[in-house]
């Protein structure tokens, strides 16, 4: 019975990572709107001022966009891995659940310092799902 619940939770975690990536991708389509003159100046500087990064001229906005896309792709990449191994033996699923849990926990700890409530909430939900999947998946399959 535990294996069945563990597999269901593992599947739910993979789906959650897809949802997390899709929700995060919405930020790529929304243009930042300044609320006042100071924010307008800040956004203008973030977009127009370029600095040299090892021979490559980049703006702060380009760096933010690149890291944002990288986060979205990481969520999709981990989800793809999860879907790829979903039918495998229980012991492998347990290990992959632990890898997912570790990645999400590290991102959450980072997020406590750099992010706000929404992304941290998505990360926390993923942590709970994969922690439960890891807990419910037995070391060895009953078969």
The pLDDT tens digits for 7-65 are: 999 999 999 999 999 999 998 888 888 899 999 999 999 999 999 999 999 999 999 99
**The predicted structure's pLDDT at residue 142:** 57
Judging by beta carbons within 10 Å of its beta carbon (0-12, 13-18, 19+), is residue 60 exposed, middle or buried?
A: middle
Question: What does the pLDDT look like over 79-114, one tens digit per residue?
Answer: 999 999 999 999 999 999 999 999 999 999 999 999
DSSP state string for 70-136 = HHHHHHHHHHHHHHHHTTS-HHHHHHHHHHHHHHHHHHHHHHHHH--HHHHHHHHHHHHHHHHHHHH
């Amino acid at each position: 019975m535990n294996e069945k619940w563990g597999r269901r939770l593992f599947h739910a975690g993979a789906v959650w990572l897809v949802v997390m990536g899709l929700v995060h991708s919405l930020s790529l389509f929304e243009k930042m709107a300044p609320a006042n003159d100071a924010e307008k100046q800040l956004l203008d500087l973030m977009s127009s001022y370029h600095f040299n990064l090892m021979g490559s001229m980049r703006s702060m906005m380009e760096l933010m966009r690149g890291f944002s896309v990288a986060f979205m792709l990481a969520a999709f990449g981990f989800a793809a891995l999860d879907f790829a191994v979903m039918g495998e033996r229980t012991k492998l699923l347990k290990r992959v659940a632990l890898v997912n849990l570790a990645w999400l926990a590290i991102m959450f700890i980072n997020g406590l310092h750099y992010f706000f409530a929404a992304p941290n909430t998505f990360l926390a939900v993923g942590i709970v799902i994969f922690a439960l999947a890891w807990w419910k998946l037995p070391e060895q399959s009953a078969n």
